[in-house]
Amino acid sequence: MSEYADIYNTDYSDFPRVFVVTYERWTFLFDAGYEEATDEYAEAFHVFRLPQMSLIQARREWSGLRKRVLKDLGCVPTASLHFVGQARHWKLDVAILKHLISIDP
C-alpha cells in the first residue's frame, strides 16, 4: 500500500503543477508550471529543497519561497509522480520523496 503526503499547491491542470510538500524533516518545492514559449505545461518538475517548514508556513511565505531555496535538485518527469485527490486537495505518493532524500541526504 502506498504512503501519501499532503501538499500545498497553487497551479493545477490535470494534476498539481506547482506545489510544496513536506516529508519527515524535508521540504520540497516542485514546479512544472506553464511555459509561455511553448504554450504548454512543462513535462518535468523542477525540484528544489527548501528549509524545513510546515505547509501552513509555506502557504504564508508562498511568494518568497524561491528566495529560500537551499538546493536545486534538478528535474523529474511529471509522469514519475503519482497523485491522489482533486482541485486543491491533493496528496503525493512519497516514493519520489524517498528517492530525492536518498540522493541528497
Strands 34-35 and 89-93: unpaired
C-alpha cell at 86: 482533486
> How sure is the predictor about 87, in pLDDT bands with cuts at 50, 70 and 90?
low
**Contact (CB, 8 A) for 40 and 5:** no
Q: 51: domain range?
A: 4-103
DSSP category for residue 67: G
pLDDT, tens digit, for every residue of 15-72? 778 899 999 999 999 998 777 888 887 889 999 999 999 999 999 999 999 999 999 9
Q: What is the pLDDT of residue 105?
A: 65
Please state the domain count of the chain.
1
Question: DSSP strand E in 16-81: where?
Answer: 16-23, 26-31, 34-35, 40-41, 44-50, 71-77
The pair phi, psi for residue 14, each rounded to 5°, is -85, -15
